Structure 1
Amino acid sequence: MSRSGADLALLLLGGFRSLVDAATAELADRGYEDVRPVHDFAIRAIAAGADSASELARRLSITKQSAAKTITVLQERGYVARDPDPRDARRKRLRVTELGFEVLRQGETIFEELRDQWARRIGAAELEGIEDHLTALVGAQPVRFDTPGWFARDVGEPA
């Protein structure tokens, strides 16, 4: 049975959603019930150098207001902190806390466990083949930090 290109896109999206939903539920079971997928993107962007709301907004392709709200939530939950900038006393710089890095580590562990579950369901060689084919089609680093903004942008809005 031949599928359409739209079917392929929906299957890929469904696979993504299945993994992310399962990981979010497992994080909650492990005591991190307040973590959402967008938080992972934000924490990773901050760890990679997005040390202000403006920079986080740029990296995630979201509004500065959305970035500020995300930062507030992450700060309230202890995943990020604001520290004085040693070069400019008026400025506060974002950094990921140990708890934030622990959430990332837990998430990575959970995704490995989910991958192992998929390998048991369809076979390790089949899963590796799928991964090899996807890598050939989309590259080794297919997802950028700006994915949350990309999902939310208007159709006519430039990338």
Structure 2
Amino acid sequence: MAQIADVAMPFLLMSAFRGLVDAVHARLDEAGFAGVRATHGFAMQAIGEGCTSVELGARLGVSKQAAAKTAAALAAMGLITREPGVIDRRERILRPTAHGSEMLAVSAAAFAREVGQWRARVGDRRVDATLATLAAAPRGQRSPTDLSDWG
């Protein structure tokens, strides 16, 4: 195999990322989750078991207004609820609905299937080495779900 130039790394990472995300969204579409975009999936991951819009904004690296807009879209799709806070009733706690949890499960299964195809193509050792390398790579100051400047 020919040596690949280091400068190719960001393009290869981006291409692999897009391939994974596009395949997962095709599966989500087939499973009845039409209209779910990558930003919705990242927001659902950032919401986790629950958080406020302010916390969602911090986790995504976006403004409170942008987080509230994303939360409104997720609620409109039936993926989250917005419940009053226990201490401050004006605050809204974002939580996945059963439909949102199902979307995350379908998404996780689709990612596992796609990585399984990588494993079949290049072998477990190489995929495990890639995952270990990416896990050890510096991340800067961003949270794993911060895609604030990603289109």
The TM tier, using the shorter chain, reads 0.7 to 0.9
* Aligned counterpart, 1:35: 36
2:66 matched to 1:66?
Answer: yes
- Residue 78 of structure 2: aligned partner: 78
CA distance in 2, matches of 1:95, 1:49: 5
| Separation of aligned partners in 1, 2:87 and 2:117 | 48
Instruction: Return the alpha-carbon distance in structure 2 between the equivalents of residues 55 and 133 of structure 1.
Output: 29
Stretch moving more, 129-138 or 74-83: 129-138
Matched residue type, 1:99: H
| Residue 119 (structure 2) pairs with residue 119 (structure 1) | yes
CA contact (8 A) 2:46 2:145 kept: yes
Task: Using the TM superposition, name which of 19-28 and 129-138 deviates more.
Answer: 129-138
Query: Residue 129 of structure 1: CA displacement?
Result: 3.0
SS for the counterpart of 1:108 is helix
Structure 1: runs of 5 or more not aligned? 153-159
The structural deviation recorded for 1:122 is 1.9
**Secondary structure at 2:91 match in 1:** strand
Q: Distance in 2 between matches of 1:32 and 1:64?
A: 26
Measured on the aligned residues, the alpha-carbon RMSD in Å equals 2.2
Separation of aligned partners in 2, 1:76 and 1:39: 12
Per-residue CA deviation, residues 63-116 of structure 1 (Å, 9 max, x unaligned), is: 222212111110001111111222223332221111111111111111111111
**For residues 63 and 88 of structure 1, do their structure 2 counterparts lie closer, same or farther at Cα, with a shift above 3 Å needed?**
closer
How far, CA to CA, are the matches of 1:135 and 1:49 in structure 2? 25
The structural deviation recorded for 1:37 is 1.2
Q: Hey, what's the Cα distance between the residues in 2 that align with 1:136 and 1:88?
A: 40
Q: How many Å separate the matches in 1 of 2:134 and 2:84?
A: 43
Residue 90 of structure 2 is aligned to residue 100 of structure 1: no
Q: 1:86 to 1:76 in 2, by over 3 A?
A: same
Q: How does 1:129-140 map to 2 (within 5 A)?
A: 129-138=129-138
Q: Does 1:6 align with 2:7?
A: yes
Q: Which amino acid aligns with 2:150?
A: F
Distance 1:15 1:37, change over 3 A: same
Query: What per-residue deviation string (whole Å, max 9, x for no partner) do you get for residues 135-154 of structure 1?
Result: 34458xx97121x21436xx
Three-state SS of the structure 2 residue aligned to 1:88 is coil
* Contact kept? 2:60, 2:143, Cα under 8 Å: no
Any unmatched runs of 5+ in structure 2? none
